[in-house]
Structure 1
Amino acid sequence: MDTIFALASAQGKAGVSVIRLSGPQALPTASKISGGALPTAGRALRVLSDQSGERIDEALVLTFAGPNSFTGEDTVEFQVHGSTSVVSAMLALLAEFDGVRLADPGEFTRRALENGKLDLSQVEALADLIDAETEAQRIQAQTVLAGGLGALAERWRVDLIRAASLIEVTIDFADEDVPVDVTDEVTALLAGVVSDLQPQITGVQIAERIRSGFEVAIVGAPNVGKSTLLNALAGREAAITSEYAGTTRDVIEVRMDLAGLPVTLLDTAGLRETDDHVEGIGIELAKKRAETADLRVFLAEDRKDIDLPIRDQDIVLKPKADLLSDVPGAISGKTGQGVDDLVREIGRILKDRAGKAGIATRARHRDAMKAASNRLISAQEILKRGPEFYDIAAEDMRSAIRSLEMLVGRVGVENLLDEIFSSFCLGK
């Protein structure tokens, strides 16, 4: 197997840059560059030189002996001065050694997966953690990265193996008297796993929103102050405002951190009847985005003016509070009146929804758990039909176990790996 290397810290000038080296030639290569043997695990301050003996830099060299490293292989990290020229010289030098090459995107993490240091759900969580922008995203990614989903899957797997084993014993002794009726225990084990799976399946949609962001649409008639409110919430001039109705034609999106959650605010075209073809397209798009948004903020003088169905937890406010006198439920993006209250209310609603998220975070997780659940429900029904059908129930249980193994990447996910690791940077 090749030894791989890459810059593990960000590109560009920095105080310190980290270059990572992993594989069977990691320690011998690092020793040659460092001018002497290195400890198999530990750290040393060394002068780094090229193969002609010319000094490149003085660096802290950290060594990690496999399997007690991130990749499970012998690993070395060079903490060099973060000069572009130093980093370039080190990368060029490493490429000169036989059996040592630049890593592919995500290859360090892929080796961690192949060497049993991470399961597939943890790999996905690591990618989510790198991309995390808000506190909620960080917490969610850390939960899965710490092995939360893998631990759940393993517990379910153990229960199902126990249930399948009991049924197999009954099948094996079909022509003899089995001393104990195992049906009640098997039924209880299946029911327990199904009960655990359901909230996780339901919670994936919310968990996906924490990863990708909740959408909050600002909806109303033309010229009620939607764009002004968006600018006030964003704290910048994100949308053009004017006294002319129909200024906003397209959906304008602003990404922000609200109450620790990722939120995309949508400023939509004003809803009205129009003969303007382009404005009409914008209005239809506004309606579609409003229908799919997680939460809508309606600006309207009267609820009767709203021609979209109002859902539970939608927020309805009177616009242009600066032109009104002490009207409850009014807001003004121009003066800021009511804006803080709106931010708190949006945060409260979305945090309440986020609390219903499960540990599973991706559509792939939901599909695997749903497949397992469907098989187990089928097995429960088949068990009621008597011992002569137990072999069918056992196969359903085995299928459920395979689905849970796919959840953490034990089987059947090879075709997913290239796609997953392509989102990683070279040093990860």
Structure 2
Amino acid sequence: MKKILEGIRVLELGQVLAGPFAGAILADLGADVVKLERTEGGDDARHMGPAFRHGDALNFHVFNRGKKSVAIDLKSADGMAVFERLAGESDILIHNLRPGVTQSMGIDGPALCARHPRLVYCEISAFGHAGPLAMQPGYEPLIQAFSGLSSINGGPEDPPLRTGASVCDQGTGMWAVIGALALLQRRHVTGKGGVVSASLLETALVWTGQKADAYANEGRLPDRHRSGHPGFVPYESFDTADAPLLVCCGNDRLFAKFAHELGRGDWIGDERFATNRQRLRHKAALFEQIVPLLRARTRDDWAARFAAAGVPCAPVHTVPEAIAHPQVEALGMLQAVPGEDFRLTALPLSIDGARPRHRAVAPRLGQHNAEFGAPAIPPQKDLGAAHV
């Protein structure tokens, strides 16, 4: 596919995840992403785990594919001169530096945009750009705990649980990209850029929005359902003879089909189970009957029966099962990295029927210094052991 963002220069001062993920999205869409790194060690993600390829950890490759690396010392006059020149040549700047760092260096959004009015400046923080905690750093599990997101995961008897994916970090990277593209469009009209502010906390609050809105407007605290749903029954995972299967009866018509396949057509006429609202009230009694029935057959047997009857269901896959499924393979989500012997997950979108492809492997530290007129960096020490 054509490079949708070809001609757009992105300058990234990203560490670990949220900022680099935003840069990776833009790189996959065709932008020229220049990643600025420290001259000693670079992005901490290079050392987050054992060396995978070219001395860098797998996490670094995941979130920095297709970029160019320029390693400079922003505390030096020469390094700041390189930064200022690159900022003036860039359309978008992304950073997730610790709060206060950019202000102390004179490269915060208002200051930099005053010098480079066309620049779209994206700042990513932990707690947001305003409020008593605006200057506090934070990490994914801290934000999940603080925002209440951890409190709605799991079942009634479980402790608060973080999600298995870094939904706040990666979600914030997505919001930063959305804001950046919106300001690029505005710049076409006004000729000026602006400042986009996104944070892990605001992202987490959006992900918990349905639960928070229910409490704010109706005083309802969210029930915890593990795989279930507060508004539909049955609408969750059940054990079968060999593996779990998730069933979604989103209306009474689907429940009737479900009951028929279980050989319990009598449920349809039972006033306790005839409507969804009644099933919500009598969930425990219904589940006492459903559970042993589903355990009598294998997951594949039930899945085939329900699918033929039009009852929405899905196996609860492990990661290996999911990526090996023909549907996932058909989507081409795992893509080869050019010139390498490994694959990485691609962007979850297609444009004109084509998915954006990985353009290049993640860069070595300072690999593109000469291309952008930055001085060469000194030989690096092996920092892997100190950071694992």
Q: How high is the TM-score relative to the length of structure 1?
A: 0.22
Q: How high is the TM-score relative to the length of structure 2?
A: 0.24
Structure with higher RCO (Cα < 8 A, 6+ apart):
2
Larger radius of gyration: 1
